[in-house]
Amino acid sequence: MRVEELKNYGKGLLDLVPDTEGLRREEQINKTVREELQKKLGPEGAAALMSGVKGEVERMKSHDWSEVRNRGLTSQKFLSGVIRRIALMKALADTVGLERASAIQCRLLDRTIYQSMSPMWPTVADYKACGDFFRAFCDYTRVAMNANVRSGLHGLDWIEDSPKALAFDIKYCVWHEVAKALGNPYFCYPSTCYGDEITIPIVLGEAGPEYRWRRTGTLAQGAPVCDFRYEVLR
């Protein structure tokens, strides 16, 4: 098998379209989120939270998104989805405080992010069928990140692309931009960035102990870049 034959090869996050089964998963995930919020906040608290989210989304309709547009993001549907995701974190922080809101959001990702995203990616077995797991994984990742740049989701610098490592620094991120617009760049960490810390180690862990991913900081947490580095330790 060639890397180019793998599922969704060449597509960035903007281009991933869930199949029928994916839409059913999405509904189940939304149900999980609702149940978790009701468990944490109670029915009335959860209802008030969603009212707050609606208010934040409405407020963002008058925001100047020219910087985002100039970066190349033309899909209002995708931007609206990002706004809703970050608005939930903002409304949750307004309701229960930033620390507790962060813990709740991370818990939501713990329960939902991998089952939501993994069916759209190749499996570890798929990568291995290309002959060299690490090379196939890195080639796939590089092409996907370049697609994200073209669609205006990210801006990045490539640091290393070698048989032993793939490294890049994300210096612009639309989720970070939306979080800033909503009042706090940190909002995108527990609602979005933390998902990397769940999904990437799962994939590399399934491939074997010799593979490692590192990130020392994120834009959301005040670092100058989100520094991604994938390595093979052999």
Instruction: Give the CATH number for residue 52.
Output: 3.90.1520
Total of domains in the chain: 1
What's the confidence (pLDDT) of residue 168?
Answer: 98
How many residues does the structure list for the chain?
234
Q: What is the pLDDT of residue 68?
A: 95
The letter for the amino acid at 100 is: R
Structure confidence at residue 95 as a pLDDT band (50, 70, 90): very high
pLDDT digits (tens, 9 = 90+) for 118-153: 888 999 999 999 999 999 999 999 999 999 999 999
Decide if pLDDT at 116 tops 60. Answer: yes
Please, which residues have CB within 8 angstroms of residue 32's CB and are 6 or more apart in sequence?
A: 108, 111, 112
Confidence band, pLDDT 50/70/90 cuts, at residue 23: low
pTM score, whole prediction: 0.93
- 176 pLDDT above the threshold of 80: yes
* 35 band by pLDDT with thresholds 50, 70 and 90: confident
Distance of CA 106 to the CA centre of its chain: 12
| Cα–Cα dist 178/83, whole Å | 6
Domain that holds residue 157: 3-232
| pLDDT mean across residues, the chain | 92
